[in-house]
Amino acid sequence: MSFISGYVADFTSGVLITLELTVLGWAGALVLGTLLTAMRVSPIRTLNAAAATYVTIFRNIPLPVQMVLFVFGLPLLGIQYPLFASAAIVLVIYTAPFVSETLRSGLNTVSTGELEALRALGFGPRPAMQHVILPQAFGTVIQPLGNVLITMIKNTSVAALVGVADLTFATNKAAVDEAQPFLIFGGAAISYLLIGLIVGRLVGVLDRKAAFSR
């Protein structure tokens, strides 16, 4: 196993890139997913239809297909991004519909009586959504959103398909060089498992705090 020492720098860099993709992808997916949720419940039919169409399309096209089309298809139209940026953008585009659907299920926990009370107090649709409804929805779906996040962490491995030097890319390179796929990919599996367990534990803490505050 002494050969592994020669790949420590590559594995470390791969883990960091995986974490960077996770942070950027999740931040973008939360913003876009929240926007899609607001559009889905909007009384404006055009916004509602546009959000529903987006969710239907991008939730049902496999992530590897979206990644390849984005990275190799856009340059044909004269649009090109660095590989890392492309991977992060595709993760946002793909994950946002799942965030939106999760949040939309959280909106169902807001009672009709509370909505009527907000209207009686003079809250318009936008202030009510921004200050009351969405915060409540987030509080009730922390655990499901955590599951979406953990899935996205695993999905970052698709970035290796287009040449992003994440953990999976570094693992595959070492496995090919050393002809030790079982041992090396086993180490990568443990790394992904540890990241997922840590995130799951943090999500559990947040969920308990939200439940206590309710």
Q: 179-190: per-residue pLDDT in tens?
A: 888 888 998 999
Give the number of domains in the chain.
1
CA 105 to mean position of chain CA atoms: 17
Contact yes or no for 167/7 (Cβ under 8 A): no
Output the domain CATH number for residue 124.
1.10.3720.10
What the block records as the tokens of 153 is 């962490």
Tens digit of each residue's pLDDT (9 = 90 or more) over 121-137? 555 556 656 656 667 77
Contact yes or no for 144/210 (Cβ under 8 A): no
- Name the packing angle between helices 181-213 and 167-178 (round to 10°): 160
Q: Which domain holds residue 61?
A: 2-213
Integer-rounded Cα Rg, in Å, for the chain is: 20
Contact yes or no for 38/130 (Cβ under 8 A): no
Tens digit of each residue's pLDDT (9 = 90 or more) over 18-30? 999 999 999 999 9
Which among 89, 100, 5 is positioned nearest to 59, based on CA atoms? 100
Instruction: Give the largest Cα separation in the chain, rounded.
Output: 71
User: Which portions of the chain are predicted below pLDDT 70?
Assistant: 1-6, 109-134, 211-214
Could you tell me what percent of the chain has a pLDDT over 70? Answer: 82
